[in-house]
Chain A
């Protein structure tokens, strides 16, 4: 069979908000059934250190038990019904900040019997990004990071860019900060997946 050619990616542009994030998906576990509630927030910055106030951040994650709501995960039936694991928010125009309330994901099976540390999978879209950048948010204090096969594949001096740091609690919820740097000093690790 002749293989079809992938449709090329194009930028999301500056005018997506009214279509994609007017109703942000920023509360991932509305029923509070999927795990330990946490806040994840941060900013997006460009190569000049300026905030990117017109980006869109999408996250995809497992529930507190490390299960994805998806048919490829054989345990998906055990994921609480109100939890999809998907978030989608725009960065704030003035501050470049984004924020979601979610749950701490569990560990996820990795290749060859390995275990992936708790993480959120992230796409960032923006004007000037001809296709999204793909990264992961890990949690600095997680013991499982030491055995995570993906973190191990990242040059050691850049691993810190994938770690969210504990922040002040917010309304009693643990809060973690993850700043995304698109370019330059402290550039976030982006994946070719």
Chain B
């Protein structure tokens, strides 16, 4: 098979499936070797370009509960660019986020942490990047919360991110963390990533993003897999022959 398509997942930058410190991986990671798959039309296409329908209010988690009352918590702006490995912006790509509230409680029925729910916070948002690859959310800073992975386990504050990018193989689900959090060193999910790459998941506080008398600003860029040096030629059937 020819080698067209996107660059491979960077094994150094990514966690392995098997990371015993994170207990849920033990019975859920594949044990058989993965089968190498050269990219075909099936891998270089994907739903991303067709998934771009959002409403402007979807990007404001402080008000998108629609109750008319703002969510409780420290108001923050989270913005950045979605790029590929060559630094090229990824325009008009869907970015979905979800998070717990300021008290560390998800609105999810499975979250039994005895912290208060906020009736004015639904903890989810979405937007589409602009021509420059920029996304922007207004939300509240999520709290830390306990989980049962190991004794006295706490997840550092984080926001879940889901991105599609241009192809099936550029799909990325990840988590954005906040700078200066002492829980980073103790978290086995973050710890599944090699130390030199963890920094890539931590947002920067950016005073230029902060808005006076309104909200603190964080900047976080997301880098998706980029095309290989020999680009896949658009054109479908003919291009593959």
Chain A interface (Cβ < 8 Å from any Cβ of B): 1-20, 46-48, 50, 52, 54, 58, 60, 62, 67-76, 84-86, 108-113, 116, 119, 121, 123, 125-134, 136, 149-150, 153-155, 158, 182-184, 187, 189-193
| A to B CB contacts below 8 Å, 22 in the list | A4-B86, A5-B10, A5-B13, A10-B193, A16-B98, A20-B96, A47-B28, A70-B49, A71-B234, A72-B167, A84-B47, A111-B2, A128-B22, A129-B17, A133-B17, A154-B35, A182-B30, A191-B37, A192-B35, A193-B37, A193-B43, A193-B169
Q: A18-B122, A153-B36 are in contact. Are A6 and B17 (CB under 8 A)?
A: no
* A131 pairs with B49, CB closer than 8 A: no
| CB atoms of A15 and B106 under 8 A apart | yes
Shortest CB-to-CB span from A171 to chain B, Å, is 26
Chain A residues with CB under 8 A of B22: 11, 128, 130
B35 proximity list for chain A (CB < 8 A): 153-155, 189-192
- Once bound together, how far apart are the Cα atoms of A56 and B37, in whole Å? 22
Are B31 and A47 neighbours in the complex by a CB distance under 8 Å?
Answer: yes
Q: How far is the CA of A70 from the CA of B86 in the complex (A)?
A: 22
B interface bracket (residues with beta carbon within 8 Å of A): 35 or more
- On chain B, the residues within 8 Å of A182 by CB distance are 27-30
Which residues on the B side are within 8 Å of A15 (C-beta)?
98, 100, 106, 108, 110-111
- B58 to nearest A CB, angstroms? 11
* B8, B39, B110 interface centre (most CB from chain A within 10 Å): B110
Residue B87 at the A interface, CB < 8 A?
A: yes
- Min Cβ gap B38→A in Å is 7
